[in-house]
Amino acid sequence: MRMIKSRREFLTLTACAATIPALAIKARADGHATTHTVRITNFTFEPANLTINAGDSVTFINEDSAPHTATADNGAFDTGTLQRGQSATLTFNGAASFPYFCAIHPSMRGSLTVG
Ligand SMILES: [Cu+2]
């Protein structure tokens, strides 16, 4: 039993060591682009106002019981309907400001500024 346990610990450490360099390489390759998260809970985008850098991505994740979308007022982006637990990740390349809303519940509003 003791030998099996120590072998398992060794394998875990090996997996961690392999993951860290891969992440470092990715960060350099994409110019430090960041993925931000907007959570949808209680019929609210959280955070409702978000400023990001050009090249960054935003993951909209629906943690609500109701279905929601994140849809730009000007149609520039649309996650489509996200059911509970579903998410959509969008990448923004040009500087712009995007007021957006939920197409199912139009009183839900947010804004995304790309600098
Ligand atoms: Cu909604």
Residue 44 Cα to ligand 1 middle (Å): 8
* Contact between residue 36 and residue 52 where contact means Cβ atoms under 8 Å apart: yes
Domain range annotation of the chain: 1-30, 35-114
Task: Please report the pLDDT score of residue 19 as a whole number.
Answer: 40
Task: Please report the pLDDT score of residue 70 as a whole number.
Answer: 98
End-to-end CA distance of the chain: 57
Task: Please report the pLDDT score of residue 32 as a whole number.
Answer: 84
Task: Please report the pLDDT score of residue 4 as a whole number.
Answer: 44
Q: Is the pTM here over 0.85, yes or no?
A: no
Look up residue 19 and give its two tokens.
């993951």
- The Cα–Cα gap between 92 and 69 comes to 17
Residue 56 Cα to ligand 1 middle (Å): 24
Task: Please report the pLDDT score of residue 10 as a whole number.
Answer: 40
Task: Please report the pLDDT score of residue 31 as a whole number.
Answer: 65
Task: Please report the pLDDT score of residue 30 as a whole number.
Answer: 53
- Around ion ligand 1, residues with a beta carbon closer than 5 Å are 68, 102, 104-105, 108
Residue 115 Cα to ligand 1 middle (Å): 26
Return averaged pLDDT per consecutive 10 residues of the chain, 115 residues in all.
44 38 41 92 98 96 98 97 98 95 98 96
Residue 9 Cα to ligand 1 middle (Å): 45
Answer yes or no: CATH 3.30.300.130 is held by domain 35-114. no
Residue 31 Cα to ligand 1 middle (Å): 33
- The Cα–Cα gap between 16 and 105 comes to 43
Task: Please report the pLDDT score of residue 46 as a whole number.
Answer: 98
